[in-house]
Structure 1
Amino acid sequence: MAKYEGTYACGHDGVVNVIGKMRDRQRKIDYAFSHLCPQCAKKEREQQIVEENKNSEVLSKEYGFPELTGSEKQVAWANTIRLDFYNEFENNRTAQEMIENETVASFWLDLDRFNSKREFLTKYERTKKEKERRERIIDIDAVAPEDLQYKGVVEIVKKLDKICLFYLKNQDFIDLAKTKGYRWNEDDCCWYRRLNEETGKYPDRAAEIGHELLRNGYAICIHDAEITEKAITGDYEKERTRWIEYDSKNKVLALHWSGRNNEIYNASRKIINSRYNREKGCVEIPVAHYRSVNNFAKKFDFCYTEDALEAIEQYKKEQREMRRVKVDK
């Protein structure tokens, strides 16, 4: 890389970095200095944006677009984005509804981050239909506690291997969902947990989170009368949080539990050849010591995963089938 001095088209002197073959460099230098200097180019672009925004504001009023809310800069830029969107999808009914209903400037700023405006439009239409469908069903299936404290209804649904919570943006709800192990899913616009062998089945987890929400003053909708009744009464199988898994890579039983518990930790570390895996946050024990692990599991109410049980049975089988020999004394 080499630096070359010169004068830009605006009359300002400057320096440019040029790389490549020597025979091509003068052409690149001439091209670089044929434009405005970086500072002037920036000012020109800023002025163009100001003019575009002013023009968009005038046309938005002329077209009868609703006023946008937000900071002055947000509204100015959002008007331009919205006008460009209207020009591209003028005859699209969903686009018309977007312009009529979406009056927050940040909505249009988010739209500008999409590479494909049509993709955004398709997603918006799909989300709108899904929301309308949910609202119709919620009207039928929703239940609320006597001491209702929050507006709206938390919808609890199962999607493939996930339990999903759909609700309004509410910090109290977000805090509650996080404490129960739920995470935000940007694509589905919901809070979710993956269901697996350790979390238990959907009916129990749906009833459990539903019960917790009702206790905290939220209305809920589960779309299943039996599960809803369990959420109301609290009659569901509690989630197990103490598990013994099998690590097939290291061929060890992995003991893990939620929260800090010195009694459990100290007891697990007394088992022969146990080690604490700091990265995974569990105590690992060779399968050969499964009898000690069994005693530990009974005492502290730990559950085995299917893989862990299979690993133990396989070890027992190998021990039974091992060749026995008579050793001369």
Structure 2
Amino acid sequence: MAWYYGTYSCGHEGRVNIIGPIKNRQWKADREFEKLCPECWEKIKLAERKQKTKESLEKAKEMDLPNLTGSEKQIAWAVTLRQQMIEKIEKMEDMEKKILAKRHGITDEDIEKVLAYILETKTSAKYFIDRRHYPHRKYILEEKDSALAYFSEKESGDLEYLEQLETEATVFPEERQTDSVVTIDFGKDYVSASFERNEEFRKIVKSLGFSWDGKSWTRKITIRTGSASDRAAELGNRLLNEGFPIRIYDEQTRQKAIDGTFEPEHKRWISKLKDEKRFAISWTDGSDMYHTARSLPGSRWERPFVTVGVEHYAEVQEFAELYDFKFTPSAIEMMENYKKVLENAEVVKPKKVEEPEQKDGLKELLESGDDIIADLLD
């Protein structure tokens, strides 16, 4: 055993203790000094650990995982260990899964439940630190029974809660034609209705603009239709009045359907014709507005719209006020932009140019004297 002194690759001086045959010691010492000194090496490892902790915390936030409990250092270490466990289980090879299935009867669904169980219930940093040397298969074998029992109880509770929600969300009309319930669902940009095959139901949803998408009757929500809640309430109200029970989970929308307090759909609109600076006038309320709209200056019939150039915006605005038409945002933007163009346009007072008096050559000739006229005679 002997101490050798030298300079590490990071430039710091130091010494290393080398043991073994004397003939090999210098070679071993040279290899050691090709590395970073212990202090620099520790700094790099610490930076790597901090980066891994940061990345693991960000992923935990994305996955909405619960916070871990323990000391600051324990948590910093455990979040990385937990993330490593997640990645190893999620990336298990098919052969590993087949072995678990054959030897222990563990299915792919069981593996998913075990992982979910650990992530939901194991919030102590110590849990992951104590198991830091576990192969990912051991996590699965250790927690399988607890995970299956946990989800069995949870699913039972979820089913009971779902049944309670369905009961609260369902209303029956006094005079109903069926005991089957129409389920009405909606989101920001759609309303959907699900029901068994029924011709009367089909007529109602079609009359309100719904179409079959292969799974349910749906309607797309746009600026012209009004809110999804109002359209869902309108459908619910119509169905109740026709004797159909309905189910709407949103309490406010359900009440609007019962009371009929939804905002009616506006069916007269003035929009912007695509790629052109023209208004597009349309109506879907069954009225005959064609001749009235065509009386606007510069109007044209461009099926299914009557269109008018933006330069006639004042007349179009007056038309909208008289006949209860609404402008879409794109039409308003086009109109406001045109107004700005007019405001910024150069206004000039052109100089009037007097037209020169047209010369009458014959008249001048006649007035010039008889002698000239005589010269013209043959």
Query: TM (normalized to structure 2)?
Result: 0.49
Does the Cα contact within 8 Å between 1:138 and 1:155 map onto a contact in 2? Answer: no
1:175 aligns with 2:200: no
Structure 1 CA distance, aligned partners of 2:161 and 2:219? Answer: 23
Residue 199 of structure 1 aligns with which residue? 225
Residue 258 of structure 1 aligns with which residue? 284
Match of 1:326 among 349, 364, 370: 349
- Shift, 1:160, TM fit: 4.9
- Shift, 1:136, TM fit: 6.1
Deviation string 1:25-50 (CA, Å, 9 cap, x unpaired) is: xxxxxxxxxxxxxxxxxxxxxxxxxx
Deviation string 1:248-271 (CA, Å, 9 cap, x unpaired) is: 412210000015433x21111111
- Shift, 1:326, TM fit: 2.6
Unaligned runs of 5+ in 2: 1-106, 108-158, 353-378
Q: 3-state DSSP class of the match of 2:346?
A: coil
Structure 1 CA distance, aligned partners of 2:305 and 2:163? Answer: 43
Amino acid across the alignment from 1:200? G
Structure 1 CA distance, aligned partners of 2:217 and 2:237? Answer: 17
Residue 312 of structure 1 aligns with which residue? 335
Residue 275 of structure 2 aligns with which residue? 249
Report how many residues are paired. 198
Task: Summarize the alignment of residues 17-166 of structure 1 with structure 2, pairs less than 5 Å apart.
Answer: 137-166=165-194
Identity, in percent, stands at: 34
- Shift, 1:161, TM fit: 1.6
Query: TM (normalized to structure 1)?
Result: 0.56
CA RMSD between the two structures:
2.4
Relative distance call for 1:198 and 1:134 in structure 2 (3 A) is farther
Match of 1:283 among 299, 306, 317: 306
Relative distance call for 1:171 and 1:135 in structure 2 (3 A) is farther
Q: Which moved more, 1:164-173 or 1:152-161?
A: 152-161
Structure 1 CA distance, aligned partners of 2:270 and 2:237? Answer: 28
Unaligned runs of 5+ in 1: 1-91, 93-130
Q: 3-state DSSP class of the match of 1:146?
A: coil
Relative distance call for 1:207 and 1:259 in structure 2 (3 A) is closer
Structure 1 CA distance, aligned partners of 2:163 and 2:170? Answer: 10
Structure 2 CA distance, aligned partners of 1:133 and 1:171? Answer: 33
Relative distance call for 1:204 and 1:311 in structure 2 (3 A) is same
Residue 234 of structure 1 aligns with which residue? 260
Structure 2 CA distance, aligned partners of 1:324 and 1:298? Answer: 30
Residue 317 of structure 2 aligns with which residue? 294
Structure 1 CA distance, aligned partners of 2:300 and 2:342? Answer: 24
Structure 1 CA distance, aligned partners of 2:298 and 2:208? Answer: 34
Relative distance call for 1:303 and 1:254 in structure 2 (3 A) is same
Structure 1 CA distance, aligned partners of 2:238 and 2:161? Answer: 25
Residue 37 of structure 2 aligns with which residue? none
